[in-house]
Structures are given as C-alpha cells and as structure tokens.
Amino acid sequence: MSDKKSRQKVGLVPGSLIYTGTGDRREILFTAISYSSTSFEVKNFNNVTELIGYVEKSNGNVWINIDGLSDVDSIERLCNFLEIHKLTIEDILNVNQRPKLEQQEDYIHLVMKMLIPNQESSRIEVEQVSFILKGRLLISFQEKNGDVFEHVRKRIYENTGYVRKMNTDYLLYSLVDAIVDYYFLVLEKTGERLDEVENRLLSSHSQNILAEIHMIRKDIVAFRRFIYPVREVVSQLERVEDEKISSDLKLFIRDLYDHTIRVIEATESFRDTSASLIDLYMNNASNKMNQIMKTLTIISTIFIPLTFIAGIYGMNFENMPELKMKSGYFIILGVMAVVPIVMIAFFKRKKWF
C-alpha cells in the first residue's frame, strides 16, 4: 500500500518500462484460454514467441492471463505485437497505479486492485491486475500466482452461466465482478474485527486495543483508496462505446456499480464506527482510571484524619489530661471508629461511590 513511485523511476523518460513491484524474478507464465459456446481449450506457454504465434492463429474469444511482470522484455514484445501504447505498457508494469479505465483507439486498458484476505493473519494482500481488452482478445496481467478468478475459470470449463455464450467483454465484466466480490469478503473480515474490538471494549478494557483500532483504521483508509476510484472505473465502463463493450452488458455493469456503491458505503460506515470506538475506548480507559483513583483517594482521605488524631495523643506534653483518663484510649478508639463512618456516609450522600 505504498505511495511512492520507486526512487529509480524519478527522472526517467516517460514511457520507460520498469517493473516497480517486488515480485521475485521467476519465470513468466502465460495461460491462454480460448472458448466459444461449444468448446474451450487451455494452453500454457513459457515463451512469448509461441504465445504470439498462438494469438496470430486464433480467431475466437481468447483470454490470456499473465502471472509475473518481472520479465519486462516478453511483456514489451507481446504489447508491441498488439500495438499497445508505450504509456499503457509503463502503467502495466508500474504496480503503484490507482484503479482506472483508459479507452484507447482500439483497446480498453483497465487497472484494478485485487484484495485477497490472508486466511491466517488478519492482513490483506494487495495485487494489481491490469486488463487489455482488444477486440475478442482479453489479456490480464498479474504480479503473482494466485488470484480471485477460480470461480470464473470453473464457469468456463463447466459452461455454467453466460460466460461461454458471450464474448470477452462479458468475461472482462466477470473478472472485475469477481474482484469486487472479494471486496465484500474483506469488508466482512473488517466488520468482524470491529465487532470483536467493540465486544472487548463493552465488556472490559484491554491494554492494546487502541493500537489495534489504529491498525484497522489504517487498513480501512488504505482500502478506501483502492475502492473509491473503482466506482469511477465502473461508471466509465458503463459509458464505453458499444463496439468495445456490448450494450447487452449495461445491465450487468449497472449491477456491478451498485455493488461498488455498497462497498464504499460500508467502508464509510466502518470508518465512522472505528472513530466512535476510539472515543468509547478513550472514555472507558479514563472511566476505569478515575474509578481507581477515586477509590484510592477516598481510602487515603479516610485514614489521614485518623492518623492525625493518633498523632495528637502521641504528643509528649506533660500536661495532657486525656492521657491520664482511664478510658481515654477507648474513647479515642471510639472516635476513630466514628470518623470514617461519618465520612463514608457523607461520601455516599454525595454519590461519590
């Protein structure tokens, strides 16, 4: 969730092709799925030349998924073959983009952030996915292995839903929809974390709760920055010219837009809740503290006058008549018993406990 254009990029020619991510320099993997309503084929390539050959021959719907962006040369060769603009290629390689949609003369370029909740820790992994939709060819660029598209692949393989019956514009929609679906998972996780914190707050006060709320807040703030532009992206998608995105999809995209709005609203309300929890925490902490201090101070206050009385009869004056009284000691003990009772009664009447 870093916001820097990496230092080595500063001062470079705009359109310089530098991979800014941290993915390790492993082999790039190309997966091509061609499909029609009647059949489908999945092929893996390790070599961009073979892939280009394959693309040249294909003439139906093809989805090429690319895992790994560190092999800049291969990606450049593929993009040049497809006549993708230099600045678009730069954007694909620079994984610090904000979600956006760019409509070029003969292709659409769409950038999204894929959020994958890590099942073990409560942290969320962020990965940039870029899409190029050019005619009936859809290319998705991912940094790492592993994505949120398994359900879509399954639908292609098993021919469920509309995906096989329609073209790659519907596939693009399905993939974006899958990404937004995962946002709901992230929201659910965040909601659970907030609920858990709230419960702990309402039951008793725990030391490290504030740092935890701080962390949740930070996640929410980062999350907001990924999803706010998505609204705009989806809204632009709705307005893309009909040759690129079939008008039959408008209803689906509208539905996606509604999902996006719900994600945003939920995020906003989580932000609110977290702020409110901080207030609650602050108050709980100070309430508890005050309770302690009050009790302790009351104890001190009760004993200080008693100690004073004891102090008086500890004085060594020769002429202190009380000291010679036979029951003097017991009378004073009685007084010492009465004083705290009176004080406690006074405190009670003042509602100090």
Measured between alpha carbons, how far is 135 from 81 in angstroms, rounded to an integer?
14
Q: Which of residues 148-177 bind a second copy (CB under 8 A)?
A: 148, 150-152, 155, 160-163, 173-174, 177
Sole residue written with tokens 């390689």: 93
DSSP notation for 79-130: HHHTT--HHHHHHHH-TTPPSEEEE-SS-EEEEEEEEEE-SSSS-EEEEEEE
* Residue 18 touches a second copy, criterion: CB under 8 A: no
Q: How far is the CB of 226 from a second copy (least distance, A)?
A: 11
Task: Identify the burial level of 259 via C-beta atoms within 10 angstroms of its C-beta, where 0-12 means exposed, 13-18 middle and 19 or more buried.
Answer: middle
Q: Which is nearer to a second copy, 136 or 205 (CB)?
A: 205
CA 248 to chain centre: 33
Site string for a second copy, 260-299 (x = CB under 8 A): -xx--xx--x--xx--x-xxx-xx-xxx-xx-xxx-xxxx
Q: Which is nearer to a second copy, 282 or 345 (CB)?
A: 282
Give me the amino acid identity at 197.
V
Of 308, 334, 337, 345, the one binding a second copy (CB under 8 A) is 308
Measured between alpha carbons, how far is 50 from 257 in angstroms, rounded to an integer?
38
Could you count the other beta carbons within 10 Å of the beta carbon of residue 5?
13
Q: Which is nearer to a second copy, 38 or 211 (CB)?
A: 211
Q: Which is nearer to a second copy, 12 or 47 (CB)?
A: 12
* Residue 254 touches a second copy, criterion: CB under 8 A: yes
Q: Which is nearer to a second copy, 136 or 271 (CB)?
A: 271
* Residue 80 touches a second copy, criterion: CB under 8 A: no
Angle at CA of residue 123, ends 119 and 128, nearest 5°? 95
* Residue 87 touches a second copy, criterion: CB under 8 A: yes
Of 43, 217, 231, 244, the one binding a second copy (CB under 8 A) is 217
- DSSP element (H, E) containing 302: helix 250-312
Q: Which is nearer to a second copy, 23 or 191 (CB)?
A: 191
Measured between alpha carbons, how far is 246 from 106 in angstroms, rounded to an integer?
15
Question: Under DSSP, is residue 138 helix (H, G, I), strand (E, B) or coil?
Answer: strand
* Residue 304 touches a second copy, criterion: CB under 8 A: yes
Binding residues for a second copy, total number by CB under 8 A: 117
Site string for a second copy, 114-153 (x = CB under 8 A): ----------------------------------x-xxx-
Cβ 8 vs Cβ 18: under 8 Å: yes
Sole residue written with tokens 């509602």: 351
Q: Which is nearer to a second copy, 25 or 315 (CB)?
A: 315
Q: Which of residues 332-351 bind a second copy (CB under 8 A)?
A: 332-333, 336, 350-351
Of 221, 335, 337, 338, the one binding a second copy (CB under 8 A) is 221
DSSP notation for 308-337: HHHHHTT---S--HHHHSTTHHHHHHHHHH
Could you count the other beta carbons within 10 Å of the beta carbon of residue 105?
6
Q: Which is nearer to a second copy, 43 or 98 (CB)?
A: 98
> Which part of the chain contacts a second copy (CB under 8 A), choosing from 32-40, 76-84, 125-133, 313-321?
313-321
> Which part of the chain contacts a second copy (CB under 8 A), choosing from 23-31, 60-68, 134-142, 324-332?
324-332
Site string for a second copy, 177-206 (x = CB under 8 A): xx--xx-xx-xx--x----------x-x--
